[in-house]
Structure 1
Amino acid sequence: MSAGLPVHWLSLGGTIQARGHDPLDADRYWKTGRSLTPEEVLAPVRALLGPVRVEAVDARPSHDLTSDDLLALVARLRALDPADVAGAVVSLGSNGLEEVAFLIWLLGAPVPVAVTASMRPPTAIGSDALPNLVDAVAVARSGGAREHGVVVVSDGAVLHPAEATKSHSSRVDSFRASATALGELRSGVPHWSRPAAPAPLRDHPLPAALAPVEIVTSYVGADGAAVRSATERGVRAIVSAGTGAGFPTGGERQALEDAAAAGVVVCQAQRTPYGRVAPTSAPLLGAGGLSPQKARLLLAVALADGRTPGAPELQRLLDASRPGTAGTA
């Protein structure tokens, strides 16, 4: 049982630890170059949370994390012992949260993991930093989290990593507004409303490196040059972020078909925030409701270390990685 065990907090920096110019600074704080330590952020509520064990990871902007950084983070989480910790919290900058949380969910960990961030620094009036951290600790310690495995916690909501996206550059409900909640926190207690959905690659061997996968975003007039460039660079897969329900231009379509003929895995996604990709036909895979960024990560794991799963297996993984439809169609 996890009662009495500490929650292990892996702190990667970001806005949740940033120190602003003054209490009214909700959007210029990154210019100070200063931050609070994890202990300073936690201090006002530490006595109320139960045992929390802090591990500060090399802090940097989350959008500067490398593939090696992400795999090292998953390895660190996989090394946690359920007999030693009740669960884990990962905090980082909001820019990289959706991709980092999705990769952790894909590969899994032996303890529940709550991933969180904040949209305002803890030094600002009305900051969501401390509430999100407190909620994440409560979720990581809860029994429901053990069923869900890995979740995103933000603005009082528990969200699925396959669905949560940063939908606004500064609003505190940026993540909550992007997806239908798995549950909510009321007075610090998680209340779950949706069933758990297992990750299709949970307990998959941790790859030595992610396979090179490129995202090509469509725009009116695109001639396919970006697709051809990616193919020439030797990528293992290309994710096409098409218009609307996933429609590339005519020039892109031909280039994508040529790439597939050359042995590159091609997945059709959409640049549209919500909804699903229109049905595709061989040799193109369909991302379903996954964002281009998340489809890229799935393929980068599935194709890592020289693996060559066939199109049916890759399509099954893509289909199994989106448990529901986020937001509104």
Structure 2
Amino acid sequence: MNSAARRRVLVLTLGGTIAMTRATAGEEGVTPRLAGADLVAAVPGLDAQAEIVVEDVRQVPGASLTFEDVAAVAERLCAAEASGVDGIVVTQGTDTLEETAFLLDLLHRGPTPVVLTGAMRPPQTPGADGPANLLAAVHTASSPAARDLGVVVVFADEIHAARHVRKVHSTSTSAFASPDTGPIGHIVEGAVRLHVTPLRPAGIAAPLSSQGQPARVEVLHAALGSDGLLLDGLEDRLDGLVVAAFGAGHVPGSWTGRLEKLAARIPVVLTSRTGSGSVLSSTYSFRGSESDLMGRGLISGGSLDPFKARLLLWAHLTAGSDRAAIAAAFAGQH
């Protein structure tokens, strides 16, 4: 471990709005162009907070990141931790930041702080938030208080656990929140102040390789008047399915037969499309209710939102987990 005065932080960059600029003054729209060195140089005094080492991993919008990209980052985290860095910051686009954070938290289980951040406003925009977010992320990554927290997201001086964080606004600089729990801490005058230490659910026992053969898992949303036609034939195209159901875990009654057949072939996980709160287990009993669906073989996603449930299911299928192990993993996330 390095001394408190000169702690070493690795910054891995993946692109995103924080790294986007126009090629020329007259060009409309921005695309990822800035390297990690440019991001670091835009934060005055950042090198006084820690010894910064920068690696450019990808230079893409958040919407274009892949499972393979995240698995490669997870491998790099393990290698960086073994080399003795005190903390790691990952910058990326905010479109998929909450998903990357959750998946990395499943794949990387070491004690070294891992902090994800990004920006809502490009660097050339008045009030660009990237430099402040990067500074707060480095403060967090270099703090001993952030050890053993798992992966966290730092945005607008708030610290959020990967398990609970959501992007809740399309344009606000305070776009990230944890609807069920609130932030676990804040950065105040450069210091990490934790309010709670979150429980960290179990990760994936079998490490994933970026060269692996990932499973195909998708999310299907329930909607008013939907007859479930999109469920037909999914057992031949998918390895797993997440249902983003109404409210506490309900779907139209016309879906139930199709879902029962699917659940006999592939894991089907039941979640709530609301993004907050948990699916129930035994409150309702009508056709298409949570108890009816679980009686037909669906797996409860508990309080995981549909997108995080998809990642947990994907990771277990890719790691070769059987149905019992998958059900146990979801039970451990409640």
Name the residue aligned to 1:259: 262
Q: Is the 8 A contact 1:242 1:271 kept in 2?
A: yes
Q: TM-score, normalised by structure 1?
A: 0.88
Name the residue aligned to 1:197: 199
User: 3-state DSSP class of the match of 1:8?
Assistant: strand
Name the residue aligned to 2:280: 278
Q: 1:113-144: CA deviations, max 9, x gaps?
A: 00111111222222211111011111111112
Name the residue aligned to 2:158: 157
- TM-aligned CA deviation for residue 21 of structure 1: 8.9
> Which range moves more in the overlay, 59-68 or 37-46?
37-46
Structure 2 vs 1, CA of residues 219 and 167 (structure 1 numbering), >3 Å: closer, same or farther?
same
Find 1:307's aligned residue among 293, 299, 321. 321
Q: Is the 8 A contact 2:8 2:50 kept in 1?
A: yes
User: 3-state DSSP class of the match of 1:103?
Assistant: helix
Name the residue aligned to 1:14: 16
Q: TM-score, normalised by structure 2?
A: 0.87
Give the strand-richer structure, 1 or 2.
2
Structure 2 vs 1, CA of residues 245 and 86 (structure 1 numbering), >3 Å: closer, same or farther?
same
Q: 1:52-84: CA deviations, max 9, x gaps?
A: 100011211111112212211111112213453
> Which range moves more in the overlay, 132-141 or 250-259?
250-259
Q: Is the 8 A contact 2:166 2:176 kept in 1?
A: yes
Name the residue aligned to 2:223: 219
Give the counterpart letter for 1:173 in structure 2. Answer: S
Q: Is the 8 A contact 1:157 1:183 kept in 2?
A: yes
Find 2:188's aligned residue among 186, 189, 198. 186
Find 1:231's aligned residue among 235, 245, 255. 235
- TM-aligned CA deviation for residue 20 of structure 1: 5.4
Structure 2 vs 1, CA of residues 174 and 130 (structure 1 numbering), >3 Å: closer, same or farther?
same
- For structure 1, the 5+ residue unaligned runs are 323-329
Give the counterpart letter for 1:192 in structure 2. Answer: L
- TM-aligned CA deviation for residue 309 of structure 1: 3.6
Structure 2 vs 1, CA of residues 100 and 30 (structure 1 numbering), >3 Å: closer, same or farther?
farther
User: 3-state DSSP class of the match of 2:233?
Assistant: helix
| Alignment partners' CA distance in 2, 1:204 and 1:188 | 37
Q: 1:182-235: CA deviations, max 9, x gaps?
A: 1111011110111132231155422523322121111112222222232231x2
Matched-pair identity in %: 31
User: 3-state DSSP class of the match of 1:247?
Assistant: coil
Number of equivalent positions: 314
Q: Is the 8 A contact 1:239 1:296 kept in 2?
A: yes
What's the Cα RMSD here? 2.3
Spell out the pairing of 1:1-150 with structure 2 (5 A cutoff).
1-3=1-3, 4-19=6-21, 31-33=29-31, 35-43=33-41, 44-45=43-44, 46-110=46-110, 111-150=112-151
Matched, 1:209 2:223: no
Give the counterpart letter for 1:106 in structure 2. Answer: L
Q: Is the 8 A contact 1:16 1:93 kept in 2?
A: yes
> Which range moves more in the overlay, 266-275 or 75-84?
75-84
